[in-house]
Structure 1
């Protein structure tokens, strides 16, 4: 069992799914709190939940998923800028996709939020793997 856990840990795709799931959870919980009890419009809640999730995702992707080792603070800033630019692409998908699903397809808000999350998680993996954290562990195949 321990060998299986080690094998899974050394696979960046498995780590990404785990931490991507946590990022999605952060996104959905923040959205639910802002839109629900705080009564903030769902479009504004969606924007802020995505922004907070992006910051959370950068930290966990850098440290745990791709295990990127920056030599300088400038390298980390450069990674963060590339990360945010990549996430802005998928943020457009999410910020546009949720209202599309709600207003045009008549879906419940949370269903629309979760559906767009699936697309976003997949696209974000490839953006991070190919363009942002290229200097990660050799075990990330």
Structure 2
């Protein structure tokens, strides 16, 4: 039980990350395989929708930050999506290269892609919501104060 409490944040993030990945894969599948949307465009659309979903669930359920301050939430949301542009670039490049180079179903490639992107996104989310970074900021301030 202590292990679950200790790693609660990561476990809940994985659960909602899994749901966001399923959403991403489903949107990609419908857009690319059913509506014949270009691969990178379908992938980018899936990224945007799943990351918007991810922002809200990560904020509310993983890092348990408040939703009352709308200007702050808008700022966090914009920063959240901007910080994930790197993962979008990785996501698009990986998908295009892997789909063109590997003789594997594009949904299998998309699932592998989502695992890699999910790991990258976990660490950027921690920075955005300043979760557990308060102690780190305090230590940095103390070190700077000692130097001066």
The answer to whether the Cα contact below 8 Å between 1:79 and 1:132 also exists between their aligned partners in 2 is yes
The whole-number CA distance in structure 2 between the counterparts of 1:120 and 1:31 is 15
2:96 maps to 1:99: yes
**Which residue of the partner structure matches residue 129 of structure 2?**
133
In structure 2, runs of 5+ residues without a counterpart are 135-148
2:29 maps to 1:32: yes
The verdict on how the C-alpha distance between 1:71 and 1:52 changes in structure 2, with shifts beyond 3 A counting, is closer
TM-score by length of 1: 0.83
Number of residue pairs matched?
A: 131
Say which is worse superposed, 59-68 or 103-112, in terms of deviation: 103-112
The answer to whether the Cα contact below 8 Å between 1:35 and 1:41 also exists between their aligned partners in 2 is yes
| Superposed displacement of residue 9, structure 1 | 9.9
Q: 1:44 aligns with which of 41, 52, 57?
A: 41
| 1:122 aligned counterpart, secondary structure | helix
2:10 maps to 1:16: no
The answer to whether the Cα contact below 8 Å between 1:27 and 1:49 also exists between their aligned partners in 2 is yes
The answer to whether the Cα contact below 8 Å between 1:8 and 1:14 also exists between their aligned partners in 2 is no
Name the structure, 1 or 2, with higher relative contact order (CA <8 Å, separation 6+).
Answer: 1
Runs of 4+ with deviation above 3 angstroms: 7-10
Pick the structure with more helix per residue.
Answer: 2
2:105 maps to 1:90: no
The whole-number CA distance in structure 2 between the counterparts of 1:41 and 1:81 is 26
Say which is worse superposed, 115-124 or 99-108, in terms of deviation: 99-108
The answer to whether the Cα contact below 8 Å between 2:28 and 2:46 also exists between their aligned partners in 1 is yes
The answer to whether the Cα contact below 8 Å between 1:31 and 1:45 also exists between their aligned partners in 2 is yes
2:115 maps to 1:113: no
